[in-house]
Amino acid sequence: KNEVEQSPQNLTAQEGEFITINCSYSVGISALHWLQQHPGGGIVSLFMLSSGKKKHGRLIATINIQEKHSSLHITASHPRDSAVYICAVNAGGTSYGKLTFGQGTILTVHP
Amino acid sequence: DSGVTQTPKHLITATGQRVTLRCSPRSGDLSVYWYQQSLDQGLQFLIQYYNGEERAKGNILERFSAQQFPDLHSELNLSSLELGDSALYFCASSEGGVGLAGVEQYFGPGTRLTVT
C-alpha cells in the first residue's frame, strides 16, 4: 500500500462544478503539499499545509491531522483547471525536505 | 516561472550511454532535490543536497549520482542508461530543508530523457 493515496484517479467535470480531490496518508507528516502539473509537464506548488485550511482564489485546501486526510476543492471549475493534481507529504522524523507523492488525480473540465 | 532552471529540456540517447542533467536553484535556496517521474512509478524522490552536502537519499540507482557545487547548482549524472530510465527528471529547490518542518519547494521545468 502506498504511503500517500489519492482519489479519484480520474475526474471529469462540467465548467462551473464544485470539485473535490481527496488525499489520505499513512505516515506521520510535518506538512502536506498540493501540486498542479499541466499537460506541458511543469509542476506548480499550490498549497503547503500543516493544519487547518488555506484558500487561494477558487482553490481551497484542508487537512485533518488526526484522520490523516486532506482535500483540495475547486469552486466554479473552469477548463483551464484541467491538469493533474498531486498530493505530496513531508514525512516526519529525519526526512528533511523530501516529498513522498500520491499517484495524482487527472482532472478534465469541459466547457 | 519558479526561478529554477534545468537544462537540457529534452535529451535523447542510446542505451549504455551517460548523460548529465543540470539544475540551477532559485536565488537564495540552499536545498536542491532531484525527482524522477515515470509512467509506471509516478513521481519519486531521488536525492537531496543542502549547501553542497548530501542530505537524503531515496530510490536512486547506483548507476545514478549527483552533486551540488559551491555556486549551489546541481548535476545529476545517469550512466549505463537503460530503456527503463526514460522519464521526466525534475529538480526542485527550497530555502531550507534540513529540519523537521515542511518546506515549500519550487520545481524546475524538467528534463525529458528518452533512452532508445
Asked if A93's CB is within 8 angstroms of B50's CB, the reply is no
Position B26 confidence tier, pLDDT thresholds 50, 70, 90: very high
Exposure string of A60-82, with b = 16+ CB inside 10 Å and e = fewer, is bbbbeeeebebbbbbeebeeebb
Q: Per-residue confidence at B100, pLDDT binned at 50, 70, 90?
A: low
- Tell me whether strands A105-110 and A10-14 are parallel, antiparallel or unpaired: parallel
A-chain CB neighbours of B56 within 8 Å are 95-98
Q: What is the pLDDT of residues A3-41, one digit of tens each?
A: 999 999 999 999 999 999 999 999 888 889 999 999 877
| Cα gap A59→B60, rounded to integer Å | 34
DSSP helix/strand/coil, A111: coil
pLDDT digits (tens, 9 = 90+) for A41-94: 789 999 999 899 999 999 999 999 999 999 999 999 999 999 999 999 988 665
pLDDT tens, position by position, B78-94: 999 999 999 999 999 99
Q: What is the SS3 assignment for A43-63?
A: EEEEEEECCEEEEECCEEEEE
User: Distance between CA atoms of B83 and A30, rounded to whole angstroms?
Assistant: 36
Question: Chain B: which residues have CB within 8 Å of chain A?
Answer: 2, 31, 33, 35, 42-45, 48, 50, 55-56, 58, 88, 90, 92, 94, 96-107, 109-110, 112
The C-alpha of B10 sits at a distance from chain A's nearest C-alpha, in angstroms, of: 12
Residue burial B54-63, b: 16+ Cβ < 10 Å; e: rest: ebbebebeee
Mean confidence (pLDDT) of chain B: 93
